[in-house]
Structure 1
Amino acid sequence: MNESPDIILFLSDDHAAWATGCYGNSRVRTGNIDCLARNGVLMANAFTVTPVCSPARATLMTGRIPSQHGVHDYIGTAPDDDVDRNWLANETILPQLLRARGYRTALAGKWHLGQERVAKQGFDQSCTIGPEYPIYHQGPRQFYRGAEPETRDGMLARNITEEALRYLRERDRNAPLFLVVGQYATHSPWKGHPERLAQMFRGKEVTKELPVEQYPFGILMRESTDPTRLDPEEALCQYYAGVAEIDESVGAVMDELAAQGRLDDSLIIYTSDHGLNCGHHGLWGKGNATYPLNMVERSIRVPMIFHSPDRLMGRQRRTEMADHTDLFQTILDFAGVVESKDERELRNSPGRSFLPLLTNEGHPAAWRAVQFCEYGPVRAARTNRYKLSLYPDPAMNLLFDLEEDPEELDNRYGDPDLGHIRDELTQLITGHFSSFREEQFDGATVDRLPRYNPLEAWQPNAGHRH
């Protein structure tokens, strides 16, 4: 085995945990991802800290939450936005730490943390989707190879896959590789995917089992108001086709690693930035699919799978809670990166490495029983049974008993029988976000935060877009 193994990180966009076979979906086609899970380790309770693109990605790259790294909403790419601003310039991020360990670092696909048309922080090489929006799944598209524009035609997912394969084939064989593959095929618009894939799902009544009761705690916004909602059957077929495209990408990378004799020794990680609703309770999208913002299970649950047969104890399905701050620490641990005491104190990451769980070498003491999330001023705590979401307006606060009400339709916040649960979780939220915050980035004070996009999801007028 190599002393420092290759690490391939698939960071897909909008790929919900429920939309994979290994997480229980019998309709979708994810044979390659399922293979990773079957022979690796699947985290059954994996979450995003923030259910929207840029903050989630920043959290994974820094091991810190939005109230620490300062990215609280998606970063706009409109003509009047500063698309080349480096939002993490004051952070030492994951590829930088791995590069200092001797890794070569490469990025293909989506980044969405600024630096849209320039070289990416910490990466030796990058070929990424440009800032033009919307992003379609086929046709001409501007990429940036470092700072050089490059027009690519054809299927977007395939172009990203080809770049990932190129990095694998041309890499320095004497140095370990950290490769991030940022697939986009599961993001809206839910149309334009390969017909050969979409037709696999048509006529199968893919929406038959979707919960139909309308989400009662907010109005629809953004993707939830798109014409997609008028033909949910076709939209979900297209979403599943996008999932299948990504699965093909995973298979192509696995095949290339196998051809190089590196498949079993490398670490392949499959995850996404956040979850997604596809017609569930009338919602399309993630945390900003409603106003006020939502923290529903399908928005915050993500797939998280690890595959490295030579290094991990495979065929595990772990039930511990894990999020992207833990993933950050686990990757560092796997690569042998050890930050100094001063560096750890400066980072102040809430995450912990769960590598001992993956290798069967031990169980980290007192693993947490609560998952914390934030999106702008909205904060949430989730245990195995209860979830509390706190809003700036207390009248909007939500408390759900996930055991009795898994679809989150019965708000128990004012129920005196659950008053002790409400108070305990409120205290936990207060303590957590007091410990992990930088004053200038604290999500509780959104009026002091920088502008991320023209229609920030916590603004009252954000909900009136149709």
Structure 2
Amino acid sequence: MASLLALCLATMTVAAEPPNILFVLTDDQAPWALGASGYDQAKTPNMDRLFSQGAHLTNAFVVTPVCSPSRAALMTGRYGTELGITDWLHSSKEPNAGLDPKTIAWPEVLAKHGYTNALIGKWHLGMLEKFHPTEMGFHHFFGFRGGGNSPSNPKLEKEGIVEKFEGLTTDILTDHAIEFLKENKKRPFLVSVHYRAPHARWLPVADEDWAPYEKMDPKIPNPDYPNLNTPRVKKMTREYLASVRGVDRNLGRLLTTLDELDLEDNTVVIFTSDHGYNMGHNGIWHKGNGHWVLTKNPKPTPNVPAGQRPNMYDHSIRVPAAVRWPGKIKPGTVVTETISNLDWYPTILAMAGVPVPKEAGVRGHNFLPLLEGKSIPWDNNFYAEYSTKHQSKTDMRMYRTPEWKLVRDFKNAGRDELYHLKNDADEAHNLINSSDEKVKGVIDKLDQKIRAKMKELNDPVLRSASSSSSAGQ
């Protein structure tokens, strides 16, 4: 009887063992830059394998299409306006800005429940010591605190000291991640690998990553766009895809290490990006703070300089996303519900069997049941925001349904946009000035949704807009 009880207790212990978590975050990767999305020019065998071995989230989005506010939303499950981070943090212009350490990040919650956590790669949520990743639940940090770095021979922080490393940045970050996996394989861990790639500058890359693209004549999304600088788009496409392939090769190294350490079955592997990317789509390249890639640019306006195209296009806000968890998530699962990066917080804690702290103020929702193939009530409407303040000055707020998208710019009259996504997935036809009564009704309804969300978030932009409106009466 005693031996049977011991066996039962041992079984219970194994069953209750929390999963390890490997969270891979790329920088500037759009879903189209992925073979699993049907884009055959992307040579991504390891990403494709990962996406097929678990759940592929085909409608994953971020609430702000630029680095810092997106990463802040990921870490906290809250919007950038709530955190005071609405655009990418400029280390020289905003040296004292960062994510408030009083904010409860999900790595911090995991740490309190026995996880050993490492952040390897890009942080971009503050340069000061009080904003250091180790203040937000990470026990180990190897990487860089700012937004930019070189694709080769980078300067990286290791054990609090910044030094120069020789080699390709993506490879170096992976080397350290593998080292951490080997040293911590006997206890629950979180390893967040935040790659710098495929953020520009894309080259150099390894010869094997450049080889498929060196002589490629890539197809581009809309070659007939007026004044499109086609040669430049093709050149950038080759370099961008080569950078993606460098990440793919290193993802393969991480997955192989999990296999070799016998960690695969009890490790959740999450793959996603901090925002999407445009490469000639709608005549621009880059992300939410887009740049025209034309031979002749539209005229500038007071708040939007020549060459700039701030936007909330789907290509900027949609991201690749996959979750592999052997024995929990059926291979080949496809989740079509709309997921945002706010939702990772409660979902990851649910995977770990850890409750979400009420005081964290998390806005996201747990989508673990969707990953498990369960049918649950889910709101597929989606709100996003982006106030640009560096290259341009805008206050864009967006409400998206599976059929329509409305973008309001509260700082710049004449920049509002409405797209009928059901018939115009490329967002090529702005219907904001339509005289159709049905369209006008859609605008009014979505505008009310935007304002209600801004009010809920106590968005200062709404207060400013209301004050301006009152002053003008």
For residue 201 of structure 1, report the CA deviation from its aligned partner: 1.7
Letter in structure 1 aligned against 2:108: Q
Q: RMSD of the alignment, in Å? A: 2.3
8 Å contact kept, 1:36–1:305: yes
8 Å contact kept, 2:284–2:290: yes
For residue 433 of structure 1, report the CA deviation from its aligned partner: 2.3
SS of equivalent residue, structure 1 residue 203: coil
> How many corresponding residue pairs?
422
Match status 1:109 vs 2:126: no
Change in CA separation of 1:289 and 1:313 when aligned onto 2, cut-off 3 Å: same
Match status 1:126 vs 2:141: yes
Aligned equivalent of 1:374: 385
1:419 to 440, 445, 470: 440
1:388 to 396, 406, 417: 406
Percent identity over the alignment is: 29
8 Å contact kept, 1:129–1:144: yes
Aligned equivalent of 1:24: 38
8 Å contact kept, 2:417–2:432: yes
Structure 2: how far apart are the matches of 1:236 and 1:427?
Answer: 39
Change in CA separation of 1:71 and 1:422 when aligned onto 2, cut-off 3 Å: same
Alignment of 1:313-392 (within 5 A): 313-339=330-356, 343-344=357-358, 346-360=359-373, 362-365=374-377, 367-376=378-387, 377-392=395-410
For residue 197 of structure 1, report the CA deviation from its aligned partner: 1.6
Match status 1:42 vs 2:56: yes
Change in CA separation of 1:157 and 1:212 when aligned onto 2, cut-off 3 Å: farther
Change in CA separation of 1:171 and 1:95 when aligned onto 2, cut-off 3 Å: same
TM-score of the superposed pair, with normalisation by structure 2:
0.84
For residue 181 of structure 1, report the CA deviation from its aligned partner: 0.3
Letter in structure 2 aligned against 1:407: D
8 Å contact kept, 2:85–2:98: no
Alignment of 1:57-456 (within 5 A): 57-78=71-92, 81-82=94-95, 86-115=98-127, 120-121=134-135, 122-129=137-144, 131=146, 135-139=149-153, 141-171=154-184, 173=186, 175-214=187-226, 231-290=232-291, 291=304, 293-339=310-356, 343-344=357-358, 346-360=359-373, 362-365=374-377, 367-376=378-387, 377-392=395-410, 393-417=412-436, 418-437=439-458, 442-444=460-462
Structure 1: how far apart are the matches of 2:223 and 2:403?
Answer: 20
Letter in structure 2 aligned against 1:88: D
Letter in structure 2 aligned against 1:348: G
For residue 209 of structure 1, report the CA deviation from its aligned partner: 4.1
Unaligned 5+ segments in structure 1 are 216-223, 448-466
SS of equivalent residue, structure 2 residue 202: coil
8 Å contact kept, 2:279–2:285: yes
SS of equivalent residue, structure 1 residue 32: helix
Letter in structure 1 aligned against 2:376: P
Change in CA separation of 1:103 and 1:214 when aligned onto 2, cut-off 3 Å: farther
Change in CA separation of 1:312 and 1:212 when aligned onto 2, cut-off 3 Å: same
Change in CA separation of 1:86 and 1:422 when aligned onto 2, cut-off 3 Å: closer
Letter in structure 1 aligned against 2:446: L
Unaligned 5+ segments in structure 2 are 1-13, 292-303, 388-394, 466-473
Aligned equivalent of 1:11: 25
For residue 314 of structure 1, report the CA deviation from its aligned partner: 2.5
Structure 2: how far apart are the matches of 1:33 and 1:444?
Answer: 41
Change in CA separation of 1:445 and 1:236 when aligned onto 2, cut-off 3 Å: farther
Change in CA separation of 1:431 and 1:25 when aligned onto 2, cut-off 3 Å: same
Structure 2: how far apart are the matches of 1:44 and 1:214?
Answer: 30
Question: Higher relative contact order at CA 8 Å, sep ≥6: structure 1 or structure 2?
Answer: 1
Letter in structure 2 aligned against 1:125: H
